[in-house]
Structure 1
Amino acid sequence: MKNIITIVAVLALLGCQEKTEKITDSKDYNQYLITTNTPSKDAIEKDMQFWQERFNNDSTHLMEMSRLSGVHASLFGSTGDISELKTSETFIKKSHDIAARNKDSYLRSLAHNYISQHRFKEAQVLLDSAYAYPDNRKETEMMLFDVAMELGEYNRADALLGKIKDTKDFNYLIRLAKWSDHNGNLDAAIKYLERAKQIAEERDNRSLKLWIYSNIGDFYGHAGRLKDSYNSYLKTLEIEPDNHYAKKQIAWMVYSFEKNTEEANRILDSVMVNHKAPDYHLLKAEMAEYNGNSSEAKKQNDMFLKATENISYGGMYNTYLISLYAETKPEEALKLASKEITNRATPETYQLLAYAQLKAGDKETALKTIEDYVVGKTSEPKALFHSALIYKANGMEDKVAALKEELMGASYELGLVKAKEIEKL
């Protein structure tokens, strides 16, 4: 991500504005907060009923199993119910076992499922197997790029990006944007996403527009283009009124930029009625902490921990757990961080390890971890923030000062609690 210091973010952080600029308007999104308005979920459940009835009549039919695997995956996306994703996995495995042909497509489907579960190494094994088949190799190469990025295998990712190069292809452009962002060029990333957006709109492709509007909204937010970000999320909701991600991002904007925790909680409460994801509790905990309500913050953090005890989640919430445990159980955070690095050795996971090392009282080892695996390899705000804390603990004030300047521009992304901590650096 490119390091950008926006005037708005700096002013908000330094408290130079008596009244925070307003980006959102509840009149724009109130219609989407009606919890009975769930067209996506309703359509999926109708589809489920159709294919389940056909499957019940003959459970050996490959087409029915394939469709059901997709329906259950969609239900996971719509409801956040992890059991739906696991059921989808079961159907894909059965389909692969009985299929006489097109084995590569089932391997890709299973790999996609594993990516959703953060089982990246297993996904890579499946995709390497799929690559042995001569058909649809470009589809496999695109997914291999995605997994390589998750695993920190950037040289391989670069080579794969070269194989799929096509500047008129939506799928290439969104991956080129991800690569540009990884290399610290946010402006280029947005440029490529805007090209992809044009393709999606020219085709009037619903699924492509949904993807691009929500994702480019994130990138606009990173760049401090909050009005553009907000409008992109509204476009997402126009297409899919029950899109939980867009609503959560608007809630974040209302909290982190507009400092309106009451409204942000109202939005989040509406989302949580139909979508069950543990990390909503962390956002509620952060807002409670910002408001000085430590008992509510603890309650929400405990609810997150309780929810993630479900073994079906596997390592999906490891990064959240590391950050949380670092504050309360640093030794547990260290164990989990070491495990996460085994799963995906990226600068982002190494910075979590370094933070856990710092909180465990080993500031020298934390510094070495940062210098060996993080500095110059990522400019993600959380990594910079943890690096600054580690430099400060080691008395390296000159490095702290340089990072503090960058972090002031990233206060929107980091949230109001971290913004207060940045001021103290």
Structure 2
Amino acid sequence: MIITILTVTVLFGCQEKSKTITNSKDYDPYLITSNTPSSDLLNEEFEFWQKEFNNDSTQLIAMSRVSGLHAAKFGGTGDISELKTSEKLIKKSHEIAARGKDSYLRSLAHNYVSQHRFKEAQVLLDSAYSATDNRKATEMMLFDVAMELGEYDRADTLLGNIKDPKDFNYLIRLAKWSDHNGNLDAAIKYMEQAKQIAEERNNKGLKLWVYSNIGDFYGHAGRLQDSYNSYLKTLELEPDSHYVKKQIAWLVYSSEKNTKEANRILDSVMVNHKAPDYYLLKGQMAEFNGNTSEANIEYDKFIKATDNPDYGGMYNAYLIELYANREPQKALKLAEKEITNRATPETYQLLAFAQLKSGDKAAALKTIEEHVAGKTSEPKALFHLALIYKANGMDAKVKPLKEELMGAFYELGPIRAKEIENL
């Protein structure tokens, strides 16, 4: 993977007419839980390098390989302990390395980004930037982190530093920047240029990354057939892609309202991948079906799964929204904590939502007017913006937001779609 934090800012485009996009025959071969060739190869490689490392725990090459394989195992299984083990090994490698320390700082920063420890990652990268080698690699990661921290002026400068219209890594970041600025068409254009580069090179890693991510962009634009086709291309290359299978499950649920099939897809993924957010999606689907008791069971599973301290703040955004409807004061405290981690329009809108649900609509209005309104086009933020305006009797501001949100039904899902209709 080139980067893991190109988390696409959700935008909305013209929604396709509701129709059946998916066909289970397309993805059924990839749902067979025993069909994990990449996992088998990973385990074989891990055993080899672990043996080398056990024979000499100070051998940097073996240590680095084992660290990277632990991170890969986290990606494949969702087991957070694998990521934490990788972190410890990178730190040890950095301590004993006589040269090339900047590469270990970037590796550790990459690990911290996966854990949503963005400020710590930035400190490491700033330190790595003082080295004369591989400054462009550091600048690219600094851009990623600056975007996560809401430091958009710095991100803009860094993007200018790495400018190269023929470089894959520059193009995907330019796409993220365009997306952030509300230009989804440009973002897709740059992603398609990056896709062309990946295909011309026939680079599997680049193709995997760009196929899955451009699938997300197409979904944001309402190009659901293109999104689905791109996800299928990912699975052709990587049958174990739990992320893409989840995205297909979302498409089946949100666009086609087929919760039975979406749950079947998720159940197959959950056999080998243990991420907490599957429970959240299952809860949403149960809620959509009117099964409140089942929804609460799944939401409780999510809360219990994320209680592991190793997760840190990785699931704070999800927890804030969930707690806002259950325990508003807990949501408020968690939102205030998240603001200290990264003060972005997206985190401030969560704080405003928690304030609203806690009964302080005036504070919620103040928060969104100072930190959210006009600073993001993310549909969830606009939805919360509309709720807060409505609660404060500002119906004139609700109407245009409602019209915009009508095009974001796919992104927000059927439950939110109903709430938008009632604004």
Question: What's the TM-score once normalised by structure 1's chain length?
Answer: 0.97
Superposed, 1:17-416 pairs within 5 Å as 20-416=18-414
Aligned partner of 1:16 in structure 2 is none
Q: Distance in 2 between matches of 1:101 and 1:6?
A: 52
| Distance (Å, rounded) in 1 between the aligned partners of 2:383 and 2:366 | 16
Q: What's the offset of the Cα at 1:5? A: 4.8
User: Could you give the per-residue CA deviations for residues 197-221 of structure 1, whole angstroms, max 9, x where no partner exists?
Assistant: 0000000000000000000000000
Cα displacement (A) at 1:3 = 5.8
**TM score, norm. by length of structure 2:** 0.97
1:418 alignment partner, SS class: helix
Q: 2:16 aligns with which of 8, 12, 17?
A: 8
CA RMSD of aligned residues (A): 0.9
Distance 1:249 1:355 in 2: 26
In structure 2, the CA distance between the partners of 1:3 and 1:208, relative to structure 1 (3 Å rule), is closer
Once residues 8 and 216 of structure 1 are traced to their aligned partners in structure 2, the CA distance between those partners, rounded to angstroms, is 17
Q: Which residues of structure 2 form unaligned runs of 5+?
A: 1-8
Displacement of 1:43 in angstroms is 1.3
Does the CA-based 8 Å contact 2:27-2:232 persist in structure 1? yes
Q: How many Å apart are 1:313 and its aligned residue? A: 0.2
- 1:67-108 per-residue CA deviation (whole Å, 9 max, x = no partner) reads 001000000000000000000001100100000000000000
- Distance across 2 between alignment mates of 1:320 and 1:21: 29
Q: Secondary structure at the match of 1:122?
A: helix
Between the two proteins, what is the percent identity of the paired residues?
A: 76
Name the residue aligned to 1:15: none
Contiguous gaps of at least 5 residues in structure 1: 10-19
Q: Distance in 2 between matches of 1:102 and 1:2?
A: 37
The 2-side partners of 1:113 and 1:2 are apart by 24
Whether the 8 Å contact between 2:16 and 2:223 is mirrored in structure 1 is: no
Aligned residue number for residue 5 of structure 2: none
List per-residue Cα deviations over 1:341-397 (Å, max 9, x = no partner): 100000000000000000000001101111110111101000000000001100111
Looking at structure 1, the residues matched to 11 and 384 of structure 2 have their Cα atoms a distance apart, in angstroms, of 16
Q: Which amino acid aligns with 1:230?
A: Y
Residues 296-316 of structure 1: per-residue CA shift (max 9 Å, x gap): 100000000110110000000
Indicate the SS of the match to 1:22: coil
Kept in 2: contact 1:40–1:78 (CA 8 A): no
Corresponding residue pairs, total: 415
CA distance in 2, matches of 1:5, 1:155: 26
